[in-house]
Amino acid sequence: MPNELEFDIYLLHTNPDSSVFEYATGQFYFDFNSLIANGGSFTYSIVNSDLPEALQPRNPQVYLVGGAMQLRLSANALPSPGQGFIISAISPGTKIVRMKLQTTSKAFSEQYFRLRWRNGPSNPYTKIYSYVDEIYTEISNPSNHLIDSLDHPLPVQMNSFVHFVSKNNVNLIWSTNSEINNRGFEIERKSVDSEWQKRGFVTGAGFSNQTVTYSFLDKNLSPGIYNYRLKQIDFNGNYFYHYLESLVEITIPENFYVSQNYPNPFNPESNIDFSLPSNNLVEIKLYDMSGKNVKNILSRNMPAGFHSVKLNSDGLSSGVYIYRFTAENSGNVFIFNGKLIITK
């Protein structure tokens, strides 16, 4: 389950032949099921609007009254006649505002949102005002205050979301119990001192009423502590976040390691991975079968951790070569020899 959701408030002019609908101001109040907080605290905020800033509702609040919670949006300052906003007669209308509701818990509870308009006569309630022939007029009509789709379950019901670490690679595996209109999942990662960054995308099943399992391999991470989340996106562009419950730790390797180059044989490029348990001066040199040094691949002080270097075959002929890896620290030397093949 995600810990945030968004919804839109639209106004639609349903009788465009009679007159122009000049929106002046409005206050928008809702009741909802506060148990979705899942033990956390709510934050209610404005995301965007089709209206100019001066005409947008303001001061979003989650308000506790009589043991129940309300979502409140206060009215904007009243414009002069002719300075309002003309409401569209083309469905879905004019977006008054897009709102975001968040909980400080990692996820909402498995509850329905149950968003409901607060309509009169019980104060406070939703009020909408327009200029009709330049006269400031309340036009609120509760019979036309509609809620679309917000009492349906989430489009994707998550079953599990786990991870496995192999050296400096993280394999994420998740499964869903059901999917409705699911375009797919963006995989996002952050470290302690960074922002969320997109790492990849996995296409969803679209529509499914059975278990579907997905995986994503995040490779070549530096030592550190990371968190992951899935941004599930539907075909309408709506999205929900699903967070990995545990942190992921990539530790400094305990031993030296040097891989066989890959691909092998190769042309024009190949890779060599290596791991360092401490800071070292690293050199990688290439020799032909006569023992002649034909290429210096790397010579650099390298920090402890996981590394990869790329080798290209420029200036080299087809044949078998030896790559020699040395790592030196305070007089201690680690040596590894590997064989590679260039085909041209």
Residue 198, strand partner residues? 188
Higher-pLDDT residue of 85, 122: 85
SS3 call for 27? strand
Q: Which two tokens stand for residue 205?
A: 């099943």
Winning range, highest mean pLDDT, from 3-17, 155-169, 293-307: 293-307
Instruction: State the pLDDT at residue 275.
Output: 95
Residue 173 has a pLDDT of 98
Range of 35-49, 128-142, 260-274 with top mean pLDDT: 260-274
Q: What is the tens place of the pLDDT at every residue in 39-65? A: 889 999 999 999 999 999 999 999 988
Please check the confidence at residue 266 and state whether its pLDDT lies above 60: yes
Percent above pLDDT 90 for the chain: 69
The closest alpha carbon to 20, from 134, 128, 145, belongs to 134
pLDDT at 254 over 50: yes
- Confirm whether 156-250 and 257-342 share one CATH topology: yes
The DSSP element (H or E) to which 258 belongs, if any, is strand 257-258
- Band of pLDDT at residue 136, cut at 50, 70 and 90: very high
What per-residue confidence (pLDDT) applies to 149? 57
For residue 1, pLDDT over 60 is answered with no
Percent of the chain with pLDDT over 70: 97
CA separation, residue 229 to residues 38, 239, 251, 315 (Å): 19, 12, 21, 45
Q: How far apart are CA 165 and CA 144, in angstroms?
A: 54
State the distance between the two ends of the chain, measured CA to CA, in whole angstroms.
53
Residues 6+ apart with CB under 8 A from 305: 168, 222, 223, 252, 253, 275, 276
Q: Would you say residue 239 has pLDDT above 90?
A: no
CATH architecture of the domain with range 257-342 = Sandwich (2.60)
pLDDT at residue 12, as a whole number:
93
**CATH class of this structure's domain 156-250:** mainly beta
**Which whole number is the average pLDDT over 103-112?**
77
Domains in the chain: boundaries: 4-144, 156-250, 257-342
Q: Give the pLDDT band of residue 150 (cuts 50, 70, 90).
A: very low
C-alpha dihedral over 25, 23, 46, 112, to 10 degrees? 100
Q: How high does pLDDT run on average in the chain?
A: 91
